[in-house]
Structure 1
Amino acid sequence: MLPVFLVTFPFFALIAAGYGAARARILPLDAIPGLNAFVLYFALPCMLLRFGAGTPIGQLLDGSVALVWGLGALAVVAGVVAFTRNARVGWNDGAFGALVAAFPNTGFMGVPLLVAILGAQAAGPMIIAIAFDMVVTSSLCIGLSRLDGVGAGAAGGATQAARKALRGILVNPMPWSILLGVLLSAARWQLPGPLERTVAMLADAASPVALFTIGAVLARSALLAREHDASAAVAEALGTGVQPAPRAPWGDVLPVVAVKLLVHPLLIWGLGLGAIALGLPLAPAALVVMVLVASLPSASNVSMLAERFGADNGRIARIILWTTVVAFFSFPLAVGLLH
């Protein structure tokens, strides 16, 4: 257990460093979008491209992995939406709660962490998981988030959300970098030397900057929520009629944290064992990778999506924060049990 913790500790320490830097305002909050853009548009696509190009095409197109991961993600979305919707949580908040429960932080955290633990062979299942979550899981949850209301208005909102989701996929460089990596792997081509070294330099920057950015994003969400509540309280005291935004109760937060870190990995494990029992060609090593990916904390970009679509971003940010805190202890335990 100690060797696993020694491997995982630096990754969580970088998240804590980013959190502390933003909370102390050493890192200006206005600088965080720039860090996020560097990771999203440059470093992480280069890392995915390099892993994709270096992974055998059979692993990148593993239908058994895609089936198990997809069924697990859809089951989590359906379950969370069904069991968390109440008088406070409508379709919009319920859908983004489902997304934050089903969408692990595979890109920013999982790829560098699991490659460090399991080796480069872990990249194939993770690339499949990233592609499915970005294209299918995210689009489904965005569509569900538009179902508040009835009639043609709701249908129009869902259609508009589908267009936004498709546009978001098309302008996101990560799916394109995955596709290019798959094509390079299939053709057994290599990038020219100078371009390969450029890609490698950006890819090497992805892990530390991405982890630092996760912490900074979490700190920014907490700081902005606190500042908003303080200013709203002052305005209320002055009689301006501004009310503080209601804070989601723990009953709307902790169950989703439990689903993300406990139910999701157990579900993937059960589906994988079932697939193997049915004779599907699912490699046990690929199943281990998928279970560990499901054990990761929630993806930090779900908070930005929730804010964009008008969901309770404070609730989503708290879920992401607590899955990250708890995963500091639960993820090494999962690695120790499986690896």
Structure 2
Amino acid sequence: MSDIIGFVLPFFGLIFMGFLVARITRQPLEALGWMNTFIVYVALPALFFQLLAKTPFERLTEWSFILGSVVSTYTIFSLMFAWSVLTSRGEIAQSTIKALAAAYGNIGYMGPGLALLAFGNDAAVPVALIFCFENIIHFAVAPMMMALSGDDKTSPLQLVLGVLRKIVLHPFIIATAMGVAAAYISFRPPEPVERFLEYLSGAAAPCALFAMGVTLALRPLNRIPHELAVIAALKLILHPLLCYVVLSWVGDFSETWLFSAVLLAALPTATNVFVIAQQYGVWVQRASASVLITTCLSVMTVTGLLYMIRQGVLPPDLFP
């Protein structure tokens, strides 16, 4: 167990360092703007492009893997949404945010760094595929459900255009598409460009984790949702378990691909859930609390998951 703790300590240590520095220096959250810009628009896209461009193209079209991952995520979403609608007498907007809190993991900031650290560069392809396809669906589902709730007065055309804009212009998705295209034509950038991409890629995980810690420190924990126990159980325990079973059932994937997907499913609630809640003015403080508390709990659950993987408690295929 000590080797697993030593393995995850630097990872969660970066989050804690960001949290601690933010508490000490008391800089406003807005001061993090350029750091987030660098992470989202430069460092992580460089990481995705560099790793995907070096991957054989045939490995980028594992549709059963993509489908299994998305089905697992949206089964969790549906369970939380249905439970919330039943207990809140049909409140769609709040139920959507609660369902996203239970299903939308921090696969952008935490996912690449932890998966590559745990499983090596071979984890880049499954991480990128899961990130792109799940985010495409998240970007579509959130505004659609808000429109159904009646709180969003956007016209259907504006709604569709807004969704398409978020998908087509997202820097991670652009970088992934360029990486896939480069893999297809076997393109390799010149050595100076390759070295430049390596510098940017190396900064991606440390900067993202530090920024995440700062964000958690500067968001107030004012209202803890009474649904938090259900959200945490679905997000941190049932989601990775379901992903593990579904992917073992639908395909014969490599150990790295399977466990990368399970690890991403085990990550805590994404900070984007708070952003979406803030955008629509729904369940905002509780969404912030869900991000913070599931992140704290994930220190134990993710460490436990990695321990089970390393010790062979979880076989790489339930249905050989």
**TM, length-normalised to structure 1:** 0.85
Q: Secondary structure at the match of 1:311?
A: coil
* Residues 65-86 of structure 1: CA deviation (Å, up to 9, x unaligned): 1011011122111111101233
2:35 is equivalent to residue 60 of structure 1: no
Whole-Å separation in 2 of the counterparts to 1:296 and 1:254:
16
Aligned residue runs from structure 1 range 74-223, under 5 A: 74-85=74-85, 86-87=87-88, 90-149=91-150, 156=154, 160-222=158-220
8 Å contact from structure 1 (residues 46, 202) kept in 2: yes
1:303 is the counterpart of 2:274: yes
Residue identity in the other structure for 1:320: V
Q: Counterpart of 2:228? A: 253
Q: Percent identity?
A: 28
Deviations, residues 105-133 of structure 1 (Å, cap 9, x unaligned): 22211211111111111111111110112
Contact 1:261/1:295 (8 A) holds in 2 = yes
Query: Are the structure 2 counterparts of residues 56 and 101 from structure 1 closer, same or farther at C-alpha, using a change threshold of 3 Å?
Result: farther
| Equivalent position amino acid for 1:308 in 2 | Q
Alignment TM-score, normalising by the size of structure 2: 0.89
Could you tell me how far 1:161 is from its partner in structure 2? 4.1
Deviation of 1:259 after TM superposition, in Å, equals 0.7
- Residue 284 of structure 2 aligns with an amino acid whose one-letter code is N
Matching residue of 1:33: 33
The CA deviation string for residues 151-184 of structure 1, in whole angstroms up to 9 with x for no partner, is xx87856664443332222322110000111111
Query: Unaligned regions of 5+ residues in structure 2, if any?
Result: 311-320
Q: Aligned partners of 1:12 and 1:88: how far apart in 2?
A: 39
- Alpha-carbon distance in structure 2 between the residues aligned to 1:143 and 1:158: 9
State the one-letter code of the partner of 2:244. Answer: W
| Letter paired with 1:285 | T
Q: Distance in 1 between matches of 2:133 and 2:75?
A: 14
Give the Cα separation in 2 of the matches to 1:98 and 1:54. 36
Larger radius of gyration: 1
Hey, what's the Cα distance between the residues in 1 that align with 2:255 and 2:173? 26
| 1:292 correspondence with 2:263 | yes
Is the Cα–Cα contact under 8 Å of residues 268 and 294 in structure 1 kept in the other structure? Answer: yes
Q: CA deviation at 1:281?
A: 4.0
2:7 match: 7
Partner Cα distance (2:14, 2:305) in 1: 20
Deviations 1:54-109 (A, max 9, x none): 22223322112101101112211111110123338822222122222222222211
Q: RMSD in angstroms over aligned alpha carbons?
A: 2.1
